[in-house]
Amino acid sequence: MAELRYNPLLGDWTMVASHRQHRPTMPKDFCPFCPGSGKVPDDYTVFAYNNDFPALMPEPPEPDPVGSELYRTEKAYGKCEVILYSPNHTATLPELSVPHIEKLIDLWTERFVELEKEPRHKYVMIFENRGEECGVTMPHPHGQIYAYSQMPLKIQTELNNCKHHHEQKGTCLICDMNREEKEFAQRVIYENDDFIAYIPFFTDYPYGLFITSKRHLTALSDFTEREKHSLADMLKQMTGAMDTLFDRLFPYMMVIHQRPVNSESVEEYYHFHIEFYTPLREPNKIKYYASSEMGAWAACNPHAVEETSGKLREAHQRYLAKQNG
């Protein structure tokens, strides 16, 4: 079964993908993403791979006949892709060179541009789940892309608030956030010519980093070559700092937020950024999303981000020292 089910309480859609439970458990000595597997090219740097068990499909089956006027169903239109970061089975993002990460950004951009050509797609989300704490069972370095036929509720909420801010103030909300974070300075981790990284004032995760473009851009396809290079540098630096923080592989969910596709223009008020959702609050302690967070969306951060920003900034300096040593 693969279908969308409408949640009338939230005005949102739930993806139902029961076929994914039949995904095989890979043997320890085989990886489909490694060269020689027969699943991928024998020689690649980065590679886009159609998900073998997609939740969304270009040609989905008809929904099961269990819906009603209240409980609507829709076909699970969309696309699910896997983006392989490297042929090296054990490589991590900060271990890749900046030119290598630039090739990854080029591939993300290429897939975004291609996926927005399908008029049924409304939002293209590029993301990475990293670490067992985030449910990862395939350690080979990879991310994913989902092209949704329905606008995800969180993205729509963010768009609505950015639009409201622009209507009230005449400015971009994220441009204003960038300016305020830079003026306050204590939550800023690192900046280069084109991007700034900070743990924002309001984040619900102790190390919930944001990376935002300094220029008011809405999507990867807006970037110059220099900006792609700057983003590659930023991703390497910040994921390297995370791994250095507790001297271990740092689990995270990384999500690229960009403009919707095949929808009304948001160019005036929306702004490209990357959000990290980071479950570790201490080396071996998880910040769980428990009843209040899940049941009421009442976020609770167990640490003040002015404190955690300092720790991540210090970890970034240690990472740089190791790189230069």
Catalytic residue among 121, 140, 142, 316: 142
Q: What is the Cα–Cα distance from 162 to 169, expressed in whole angstroms?
A: 10
Give the CA diameter of the chain.
65
Q: What is the Cα–Cα distance from 85 to 235, expressed in whole angstroms?
A: 13
Residue 140 annotated among the catalytic residues of the structure: no
Q: What is the Cα–Cα distance from 250 to 254, expressed in whole angstroms?
A: 12
3-state helix, strand, coil in the chain (%, to 5): 35, 20, 45
What are the residues whose beta carbons fall under 8 Å from the beta carbon of 27, sequence distance 6 or more? none
Tell me how many degrees the CA angle 135-276-279 measures, rounded to the nearest 5: 45
Point out the residues that are catalytic: 142
